[in-house]
Amino acid sequence: MDTIFFILSKVVQFCIEPLNWVIAFVLLGLLFLSLRKPHLCKRFLVLALFDLLLVGWLPASELPLRAIENLVPKATLPNDLNNKIGGIIILGGAISGEQIAVDRGGDIYSFFSRARYKGV
């Protein structure tokens, strides 16, 4: 039963990614080209081009995100709480002041050891 869910999760993940559809459309276009079906080949290649343009155009993907981000008001912290914060961890990367941890290894651990001695 676990194997079925594993395979199903991989198929769903493949279908979710828009660039995988571009690859699938190009491969189907090449298949129909080799089968001498030019009208189907043309349709799948146009779909691949349309999908690539839609996915590749950066502002189209940023517009919905900007609308969602603008719905949430910016939080203000009191000064006493602002002085107690030594750093913030965002998606596995530690941020302290102007420095951003590039590696997930030693930089984060050294950050925590420094933060512990600061009393954070």
Instruction: For residue range 57-75, list pLDDT tens digits in order.
Output: 766 667 777 888 888 887 7
Distance between CA 44 and CA 92 in Å, rounded? 40
Task: Provide the pairing of β-strand 99-100 with 88-90.
Answer: unpaired
Q: What is the reported pTM?
A: 0.48
The per-residue pLDDT for range 19-37, each reduced to its tens digit, is 889 999 999 999 999 999 9
> In this predicted model, what pLDDT tens digit does every residue of 94-119 receive, in sequence order?
555 555 555 555 555 555 555 555 55
pLDDT computed for residue 120 by the predictor: 47
Rounded distance, CA 120 to CA 115, Å?
Answer: 6
Report the percent of the chain where pLDDT is more than 70: 66
